[in-house]
Structure 1
């Protein structure tokens, strides 16, 4: 098994608490509303939403994948951190055992925030991950982040 790690930082004018609430705490209801073509539905299939809980994410019509299951590894509402693992679904493409994500929102000097994310891809056997596949995943994540940011800008009371 190989482990490939990728990191990304994105800045936003939104403060950390607001982005964390939208992107993590309210994401199950908010994201399917904002981008239904990407995420059709999020269903809690095990647990209470805290660490150890499992969610099934059903992708929208425009996606190449049908679903994934996430296991919540950790959530810290005070420090705006969230970690989860993709443990099942066709997005693992029979080449990955799992993908672990860690996200942290930190205050930026201008009053906005910086979203720092790290992803670790655990391959099955000696399979190599193609750089273009990682880049495509990063672009989709960035698009989702920007869609949430745009929604919050347009709906300041959300």
Structure 2
């Protein structure tokens, strides 16, 4: 099995504690509220919200041709509230990249002097023997995550007491 690692950072004008709360601790209630055009629902289907918990997100990302991502299952690997660190594995999806065994996403939220955050994200793609994946697809996934953080930022700027 091969491993492809990709690192990126996102600047967000939201303090790490708020960003960590919405992205890691209250995903099931806040993400569908922040992204109603993309996320229909998010729910814990196994566990108590800590490591080992399995979450299922139902998306609204279907093309006119009826194709696209309709659901994804994540397994929470780690939650470190003190250091604003969080990781999860992508364990199932209706659209799975061929040749990929699993993907682990590790996030750390670091404060900026301006009161916002830098999200440092490492994506680890575990590739099945003999398979290859395109780096363009990994970069595309990173852009989607950046869009999610920008939506969270817009929500908190519009709702500072949330």
TM range (shorter): over 0.9
Q: How many residues align?
A: 158
Distance in structure 1 (CA, Å) of the matches to 2:141 and 2:155 = 21
Q: Which residue of 1 aligns with 2:155?
A: 151
Is 1:55 the counterpart of 2:55? The answer is yes
Q: Give, in whole Å, the separation in 1 of the partners of 2:75 and 2:13.
A: 29
Deviation at 1:62, TM superposition (A): 3.7
Q: Which runs of 5+ in 1 are unaligned?
A: none
Give the RMSD, CA atoms, in angstroms.
1.4
Query: What is the CA-CA distance between 1:61 and the residue it aligns to?
Result: 4.1
The equivalences for 1:5-154 within 5 A come to 5-62=5-62, 64-154=68-158
Q: Please tell me whether the aligned partners of residues 62 and 70 of structure 2 are also in contact (alpha carbons under 8 angstroms).
A: no
Using structure 2 for the length normalisation, give the TM-score.
0.91
Native 8 Å contact 2:12 2:149 kept in 1: no
Give, in angstroms, the shift of residue 2 of structure 1.
Answer: 1.2
Uncovered stretches (5+) of structure 2, i.e. residues with no partner: none
TM-score by length of 1: 0.93
Structure 1 consecutive aligned stretches of length 4 or more whose deviation exceeds 4 Å: none
- Decide which moves more: 25-34 or 100-109: 25-34
Deviations 1:123-146 (A, max 9, x none): 122211112211211111111110
Report the CA distance between 1:13 and its aligned residue.
Answer: 2.3
Q: How far is the alpha carbon of 1:99 from its aligned partner?
A: 0.5
**Aligned partners of 2:6 and 2:123 also within 8 Å:** yes
- For 1:49, what is the secondary structure of its paired residue? coil
Instruction: Please state how far the C-alpha of 1:36 moved relative to its aligned partner.
Output: 2.2
